[in-house]
Amino acid sequence: MALFKVNTGVREQEVCNLKWDWEVEIPELDTTVFVIPAIFSEDGLSGVKNREDRLVVLNAVARSVVDARRGKHPDYVFTYRRKKLDSMNNTAWQNARKKAAGKYKERFGKDAP
């Protein structure tokens, strides 16, 4: 999720709510993009910052993240235990960061930046 966010510039709630239905195939370029609707929550309160649909073009890194998620959930691109995420900075994310920091220290002999 973090790689996708960094490589696309989307906001946290756009990542957490990203749906497969929003993926649009561009056959001429042999790729896909995501079109995030201006309002994307059931309550009508959450949406794109400027209240306009947002086009998300994927670079190679973002594309690889999406491809790795394909088939894991019928509706949402990013899930945890097959459930939609509400936030990126939850307990699972914090645990993953700690684990990655430990591996970094093992490999490089110093604390992660």
Q: Which residues of 44-64 are buried (b: 16+ CB within 10 A; e: fewer)?
A: eeebbeeeeebebebeeebee
Domain-located, residue 105: no
Domain-located, residue 32: yes
Instruction: Provide the domain count of the chain.
Output: 1
Can you give the pTM of this predicted structure?
0.74
Domain-located, residue 77: yes
Domain-located, residue 9: yes
pLDDT digit string, tens, across residues 3-16 = 999 999 999 889 99
Q: Indicate if the pLDDT at residue 47 is higher than 80.
A: no
Rounded CA-CA distance 2/91 in Å is: 15
Domain-located, residue 53: yes
Rounded CA-CA distance 111/6 in Å is: 22
**Structural domain boundaries, residue 38:** 2-87
Q: Indicate if the pLDDT at residue 38 is higher than 90.
A: no
User: Who wins on pLDDT, 40 or 22?
Assistant: 22
